[in-house]
Structure 1
Amino acid sequence: MSRMPDQCESKQPISKLWDPKFPFSPDKFPFFYGWVIVLAGTMAVVFSIPGQTMGFAVFTDTLIEELGLNRVQLSTAYCVGTVVSGLSLPYFGRLYDRIGARRMIVYSAIATGLVLLYLSQVRNILDVLSPLISLSRGFIAFVIITLGFFMIRASAQGVLTMTGRNAIGKWFDYDRGKAFALSGVFTAFSFSFAPRGLKWMSDQFGWSGAWLVLGLMTVIIMAGLGWLLFRDNPEECDLTMDGGRGVETERKIHEDAVAHRDFELWESLKTWPFWAFNLSFSFISLYTTAVTFHIISIGKSSGRDAVEVIGYFVPMAVISVISNLFMGWISSRIRLKYLLGVVNGAGFFSVLGVIHLDTGLGVVSYIVGNGIAGGGFACLSGIVWPRFYGRRWLGSVSGVSMSSMVIASGIGPLLFGASLALYDAYMPILWLCSTLPAILLIGSCWADNPQRHFGKS
């Protein structure tokens, strides 16, 4: 099992406010408190929706109209803001290691809420600044929304998501796969229904009012419940991972699932498994974000109407949930490199499906492949880092991974848009994308858990 040397001793609460046994003691609960962490961590991921791609999709056309930008300018602002936010995440990962999940979730929730309040006022800010600055209104609008994209992608998609997932990973060992699978089910359905919910809010309160309400909800609800429910690790609460089940079930755990030591970031970066998983996760982020961003245009180029291609996401979500649950259940009984191989194989068939989307087999390949890849990605991205590299520097390790994924998700739509602009087709970038999961599938064969080298010692 993974332990965090000296962490519990070195992290003394700076005040009663952050004492892990205030306002209640998790060790007094009638059931293992880790399952409360699963609930709280899942809530954090759900509250990150305003910073996710589907969270912005509802407001895209409105922003274009309100700010006077065209689609290319807004997409460029989104890409720049996303890439810059990704570059900031390694720092926030190290900060997570220093201050712990509880303070991090409160700070990131408050930051997300304030950024949403800023986004709700971008039109008013533009109207105020335009007469005061001797620059074109379009340029000022570009800078204002780029800053907004940077802040919301860093605080919500980056730090809020990372903190919620890391907290779950720290509280479980044997049951880590089950915990992430359970969290993934609620996350998948929340993300699936988010566009409709955001559209309803926009219709009820207007685009500005919707972001204003979301900002207030994030500060009041997520920051408040984050402080109340989050705890950094079970040891500081006089508990053990899995609620004491670790000793009872240790013999049932596959040897690949046992963490013997904690890796510092520089050690992790020198291992091939880190890059095999990180590059695979980054590809999934790049590809799925890009295809989702351009799905209507891609469908039109293959003779599919908008209603039909949007409908693909329903069966895809079902397959993703099933994939997530299965991989979560089996993850403690098998080497993760085999599951990574499945994810990359599914990603390969998903790309082939999009290439041949004009055929029935292509549609099936896209839906099934993307569903399996998405479900596996959601599960493995939470399990692999504490399992392979321990919990002590989990924030630093996962911060680099999250940075890579966020940057990839920002670049993906731009690459697909460039392919359409240069070649009047998506095929060149799609064929390039098909080679990446194929290569990573081969690379998965050597993505063994580095902890295996320390098993005997």
Structure 2
Amino acid sequence: MVNSNRYSLVNPKKSPVFYGYVVLFFGIIGVLASIPGQTVGVSVFTDPVKDALGLSRNQFSNAYMIGTLLSSFLVTKAGFLFDKYGARYVAFFATVFLGISLLLFSISVKISETFKSILNIDSWIIPFALITVLFFFIRFSGQGVLTMTSRNMIMIWFNKNRGKINAISSITVSLGFSASPILINRLIDDYGWELSWQILAVCLFIFSFFIIQFYRNKPEDFDLKPDGSITDKNKETIDIEEVEDNFTLARAKKTRAFWMYGLILAFNSFFITGFTFHVVSIFASQDYTKSQAIAVFLPISIIAISVATLCNILSDYIQHKIYLYIMIASGILASLGLLFLSSSFGIYMLITGLGLLGGLFSVVNAVTWPKYYGRKYLGSITGKVMSFLVIASAIAPSLFSYCFSNFGSYSNISYITLAFLLFLIIGSFKVENPQKYL
């Protein structure tokens, strides 16, 4: 018990409210704190940083892709560390590491010039190699570890109310991610990109203190139960407890559900990342303006938030394989929308499909894993799934670009995605919740 509360002045057992709600609050902040390592946070820095380092857009994008791919190989290992040491310490070190990485990024031009001077080489390869390593750092610590640990911690503290809690988390995180480019861009305009990264780093270091104070691994460490407790008519406290089969990663990988859910989440990551990365060019290829291209994100966000809220609440009561089928259908809708983007009907299909995918992604990626495989080995399981997502997000921009440069249209990517979704349709017929066999 002492180890569970080491270095902290906060005792969950003395909390006036169920401590899971405190975990929810700080877990949401933890996911938002990962923004500097997410695509949405990095994209705002793209133009000033690549120009300062003397890199082309393709060189900068390739460094981002390689760094992201490299990070995917270690995310699963971080999941095992989560299971062994808990969210508290893993999130702390991930946050500190992300902050240090941002400080290095802020002086990347000086580092690049120093290496050029030492090696007596004036080549783009040096800044390219440097930011590839730095992208690996921030993608691993931010997009991978900090996001995974914060989300998993919230899910561990809840069971029967897991869907409702994730609805709150999803809405807050969605709004935070949507607003972050505007806020970061304002920061860059006021202070420049170097100082902006330093300010974000200081914020991360401050938050790391709050992680040690308020993050907690699981309620059982403090003689508590997920969701808290209920009181009967005689005012006697009754703990809520269910029999739960905790799957190891090796055992989970032997189930059909692990692969079908993991692959549909990876598809979502692939399609949305590729579309977002090239959205202006995609619509320009069909003679739409930049403002028209950017405008599609508003209805997509509205659909996604609405779907996430409803489906998170319903997830406590219905079978999750329904969500799998809807995500596959949404992927087909989005793929057909991209294929027929030249028509207004195609745009509506694309917006609807992406909105449904985005909304259900936040439900399945958070709620389904503990519901299907238990909480004990949640880190290693979600860490492996996160590696799928990272790989998919890394290759998407390049594959979208390849289709356009070689075939003159982005619509050709739809044939690849539709073929993949056909495979998922066939594979998902016999998907069942492994817990049903208890």
Q: TM-score, length-normalised on structure 2?
A: 0.95
Amino acid at match of 1:274: F
| Structure-2 residue corresponding to 1:328 | 312
User: 5+ unaligned residues in a row in structure 1: which ranges?
Assistant: 1-10, 249-256
Equivalent of residue 113 in structure 1, options 92, 95, 99: 99
SS of 1:302's partner is: coil
**1:338 touches 1:444 (CA, 8 Å); kept in 2?**
no
Deviations 1:295-315 (A, max 9, x none): 000010112111111111112
| Structure-2 residue corresponding to 1:305 | 289
Deviations 1:372-411 (A, max 9, x none): 1101001110111111111111111111001110111011
Matches of 1:40 and 1:246, distance apart in 2: 27
Query: More deviation in 135-144 or 175-184?
Result: 135-144
Matches of 2:151 and 2:281, distance apart in 1: 33
| Structure-2 residue corresponding to 1:123 | 109
Amino acid at match of 2:376: R
| Structure-1 residue corresponding to 2:216 | 231
**1:259 touches 1:390 (CA, 8 Å); kept in 2?**
no
Amino acid at match of 2:260: A
**2:4 touches 2:221 (CA, 8 Å); kept in 1?**
no
| Structure-1 residue corresponding to 2:60 | 74
The alpha-carbon distance between structure 1 residues 429 and 99, as it changes in their structure 2 partners (threshold 3 A), is same
Matches of 1:289 and 1:16, distance apart in 2: 40
Matches of 1:14 and 1:259, distance apart in 2: 24
Shift of 1:247: 10
Matches of 1:351 and 1:214, distance apart in 2: 37
| Structure-2 residue corresponding to 1:252 | none
> In the alignment, does 2:36 pair up with 1:53?
no
Matches of 2:231 and 2:213, distance apart in 1: 26
**2:338 touches 2:411 (CA, 8 Å); kept in 1?**
no
Equivalent of residue 184 in structure 2, options 161, 185, 198: 198
Query: More deviation in 153-162 or 71-80?
Result: 71-80
Shift of 1:120: 0.9
Equivalent of residue 434 in structure 1, options 402, 418, 429: 418
| Structure-2 residue corresponding to 1:25 | 11
Equivalent of residue 13 in structure 1, options 3, 15, 20: 3
Equivalent of residue 339 in structure 1, options 323, 327, 330: 323
Matches of 2:231 and 2:30, distance apart in 1: 26
Equivalent of residue 369 in structure 2, options 385, 394, 401: 385
Q: TM-score, length-normalised on structure 1?
A: 0.91
Alignment of 1:10-409 (within 5 A): 13=3, 16-17=6-7, 22-220=8-206, 222-245=207-230, 260-409=244-393
Matches of 1:201 and 1:147, distance apart in 2: 25
Matches of 1:37 and 1:168, distance apart in 2: 6
The alpha-carbon distance between structure 1 residues 270 and 179, as it changes in their structure 2 partners (threshold 3 A), is same
Matches of 2:435 and 2:232, distance apart in 1: 19
Deviations 1:165-187 (A, max 9, x none): 11011011111111111100011
Amino acid at match of 2:345: L
**1:304 touches 1:358 (CA, 8 Å); kept in 2?**
no
**2:244 touches 2:435 (CA, 8 Å); kept in 1?**
yes
Shift of 1:24: 2.3
Deviations 1:301-337 (A, max 9, x none): 1121111111111121111111111111111211111
**2:76 touches 2:383 (CA, 8 Å); kept in 1?**
yes
Which aligned runs of 4 or more in structure 1 are off by greater than 6 angstroms? none
Matches of 1:263 and 1:247, distance apart in 2: 33
**2:261 touches 2:324 (CA, 8 Å); kept in 1?**
yes
Shift of 1:449: 0.7
Amino acid at match of 2:396: G
SS of 1:153's partner is: helix
Query: More deviation in 312-321 or 146-155?
Result: 312-321
Equivalent of residue 424 in structure 1, options 392, 408, 418: 408
The alpha-carbon distance between structure 1 residues 303 and 411, as it changes in their structure 2 partners (threshold 3 A), is same
Amino acid at match of 1:59: F
| Structure-1 residue corresponding to 2:238 | none
How many residues of Structure 1 are paired with residues of Structure 2 in the alignment?
Answer: 431
**1:286 touches 1:409 (CA, 8 Å); kept in 2?**
yes
Cα RMSD after superposing both structures? 1.9
Identity %: 34
| Structure-2 residue corresponding to 1:8 | none
**2:327 touches 2:357 (CA, 8 Å); kept in 1?**
yes
Deviations 1:62-110 (A, max 9, x none): 2221111112111111110000001111111111111111111111111
Query: More deviation in 330-339 or 360-369?
Result: 360-369
Matches of 1:15 and 1:272, distance apart in 2: 38
